[in-house]
Amino acid sequence: MNQLDLSVSRDAVADPDVLVEDANADQAGRARDAARPCEAAQPAHQPPLPQAAGSPVFHESARAQVAGAATYVDDIPELRGTLYAAPILSTVAHGRLMGVDTAEALTMPGVRDVILACDIPGDPMLGSFSHDEPVFARDTVQHIGQVIGVVVAESVMQARRAARKVNCRIEVLPAMLDVRQALKAQSYVLPPVFVKRGDATRALKTARHTLHGTLEVGGQEHFYLEGQVACALPQEQNQWLIYASTQHPGEVQQWVAHALGIASHAVRVECRRMGGGFGGKETQAGHVAVWAALAANKLKCPVKLRLDRDDDFRVTGKRHPFAYDYSVGFDDSGRITGLKLMMAADCGFSADLSGPVADRALFHVDNAYFLQDVEIASYRCKTNLQSNTAFRGFGGPQGMIVMETIMGDIARQLELEPLGVRKRNLYGDELVAPMSATEPARRRDTTHYGMTVEDNILLPLLSKLELTCGYQQRKKVISAWNARSPVIKRGIAITPVKFGISFTATLFNQAGALVHVYTDGSCQVNHGGTEMGQGLNTKVAQIVADELGIAFEQVLSTASDTSKIPNASATAASAGTDLNAGAAQYAARRVRDNLAQFVAGLDGCGAGAVTFRGGRVNTPAGTRPFTEVVKLAYANRIQLWSDGFYRTPKIHYDKTTLTGRPFFYFAYGAACTEVAIDTLTGESRVLKVDILHDAGKSINPAIDIGQIEGGFVQGMGWLTTEQLVWNDKGELNTHAPSTYKIPATGDIPEHFKVDFWPEANREDNIFGSKAVGEPPLMLAISVWEALRDAVAAAQPGMRVQLEAPATAENVLRALGGL
């Protein structure tokens, strides 16, 4: 599938059920029908339509979004009688829930009812894998902002005002608010996980050099433009229609059915698009849908629930903060010979997706580097804060950043050039000398979880970026600047990315799609993925258009709908296009095969000789418009729709041993970032960014460049300005744009250059492309390392101890100014 082939295999065999029953009886009629559209059997010489895949076509919703005509959940016209819900939130981080007094709220104007845990007809626990989170708090509350119930009223503001008047009597209990405190107390949401290869203890003892360090990395708010929202509409015979802004309609379906105590087939979930997701709507959109459905179930009318932005901050989880302790051994060249690493993830009060997030962090500790003797401990800590969840990168950034920090520390310890140290530690194919005669020799091409890195382009990619961005020359210029500038110091860094693509849980690596061709030649495609602005529907439509040989404009991608594609995986793990476009391609190919068999019968040729290009169907006998072929096929009762199914090949993973091949392939990239810091205030600015990214053979270069730029900027925010601050009571102080600072237009450097690595995916992936949703975020680790380089320039010879995010306060603290 690397190269899109619009011809049909000569071995293709159509389903006999879709062929004409009596070929002999129909042969004369077919000949008459064929003569007219075949254009006197003349070969086509019209210039073909451009191939859709590989072209920078507009996002399929771009014009509607610019015009304000794109419909989001809150824009859907409400049915008469729709009511509105607002959450009742805990004001205590940890305590016993002694009672809920709703009397005052129920007397307020427009209030219809209050929905609590006692109103749940099904399971009072959410339908998550860990089954450890209540739908509504019952006996205890476990974080400030935990939802105790919802107030339902005739308007949004009436519901929100009344929710604040509900009196929750809570007996305060001691709260766990710090991940290291939780680690010490062995407070976990899931058991710890350990990975070991070789003998790290012995390697550290015999190492030429050793370093020991700690690192604290903060979380990140998703800050999607469209907040969490759902609308639940009761249907006939206890069936339900749920409009939800969700990355996982199938899970919303299951959770709603679970809470209502009904079968999944009675719940239909639809999502046309989201105004951003970033992982924050993978599981946690399910909560909002369940709360709305429970209210609608009790009141027997439609109910909409849209969280206020402040409540969204207080209720929903974030990127997991991590704490690290490490000991690393290395030789005179900076090559790592042994590593012991402790990673503690702050999971909040429940497991949510913390297990796979922490696992992916563990898988990506190596980033681009071979680790010979390594011992890693991963702790999944329980605190009395929001339940942290998926966020773009899904643990990968938290794994990579500690390794890049270690690389920078090694280079400064040895007074070596950092990029040189990074290159010496890259994966490669040379043999590793065993530590004893009894140990087998190994190559530097296998990860610490046993996966061989087969498509390694790290060294040539890094070397090319080093050359094209003028890294070595810029280092000299920066060194000269720092020598004469006492206050403003500059720094520069190049860091690589190696990010595994696939869900680490193998069962999720599957997808389905439907392709319908109508008698006017237009086409509709539906798949299990969700559109959140990343261009998934656009790319799927491009693939389908090329498979059928028609114009992109003839293909319409429709809303994700659980009644069309069942059991779909979340649109996550950067696998949305790989999975759903793969399924859609198979569906379109089956329709095309049906048409090819039909036309081959008309023209007396093999099906393999029939091609579909430029809106025309061609055979050795001549050419016909695609629309005419479709009409003829319909008249002859040929099937013009099909389903398609795709499952990712090659992957396997043993969760008990944490070994195998969890990823189909790796996406690579590298970024060079130049920064400046003010040593008097700690303020910083990103001056220049150069990126070389491996997107394979891009299906849509315009969309992919947007994803690379956006991902980088979001990662830059995580590591510079986006600081989450809780007070000593467990209350989030940064819960609005006034206090939580995402990057703005003024933070984008004037020099921001993105180039693609010019090579298709070496694995047989759709169009030869590679996933591009998450990997670019980790390119922003170059910002972090450049800032540490600038701090080091301000205090030569001293160890850089900087915490992330590198806010002005944290930079000043690293400089000894606080």
Q: Mind telling me the catalytic residues?
A: 774
The helix or strand, by DSSP H or E, that contains position 669, with its residue range, turns out to be strand 665-678
On the 0-12 / 13-18 / 19+ scale of CB atoms within 10 A, 396 is: buried
Which tokens sit at 705?
């460049």
Strands laid side by side in the 510-517 sheet: 555-557, 523-527, 510-517, 641-647
Separation CA 328–CA 212 (nearest Å): 7
For residues 581 and 772, the answer to whether their CB atoms sit within 8 Å is no
Separation CA 467–CA 38 (nearest Å): 56
* Residues 6 or more apart whose Cβ sits within 8 Å of residue 758: none
Helix (H, G, I), strand (E, B) or coil at 622: strand
Q: What is the DSSP string of 382-441?
A: --SS------TTTTHHHHHHHHHHHHHHHHHHHT--HHHHHHHTB--SSEEPPSSTTSPP
Q: Could you tell me which of 709, 703, 651, 679 has the C-alpha nearest to residue 812?
A: 679
Separation CA 405–CA 427 (nearest Å): 18
User: Beta strands of 102-246 (E only): which ranges?
Assistant: 111-115, 140-141, 147-153, 167-172, 188-197, 209-217, 229-234, 240-244
The helix or strand, by DSSP H or E, that contains position 703, with its residue range, turns out to be helix 701-720
Separation CA 39–CA 347 (nearest Å): 67
Among the residues of 121-235, which ranges form H helices?
A: 156-163, 179-184, 200-206
Separation CA 471–CA 680 (nearest Å): 27
Separation CA 161–CA 270 (nearest Å): 30
Separation CA 534–CA 574 (nearest Å): 10
Angle at which helices 23-35 and 626-635 pack, to 10 degrees? Answer: 150
Other C-beta atoms lying within 10 Å of the C-beta of residue 524? 17
Separation CA 148–CA 273 (nearest Å): 29
Cα 25 to the chain's mean position, in Å? Answer: 55
Helix (H, G, I), strand (E, B) or coil at 343: strand
Helix (H, G, I), strand (E, B) or coil at 37: coil
Which tokens sit at 23?
């070929």
Separation CA 77–CA 70 (nearest Å): 13
Which tokens sit at 664?
């189909």
HEC sequence for 544-591: HHHHHCCCHHHEEECCEECCCCCCCCCCCCCCHHHHHHHHHHHHHHHH
| End-to-end Cα distance, the chain | 57
Q: What is the DSSP string of 439-480?
A: SPPEETTB-TTS-B--S--HHHHHHHHHHHTTHHHHHHHHHH
Which tokens sit at 747?
């933070």
Separation CA 589–CA 269 (nearest Å): 28
Helix count and strand count (H, E) for the chain: 20, 31
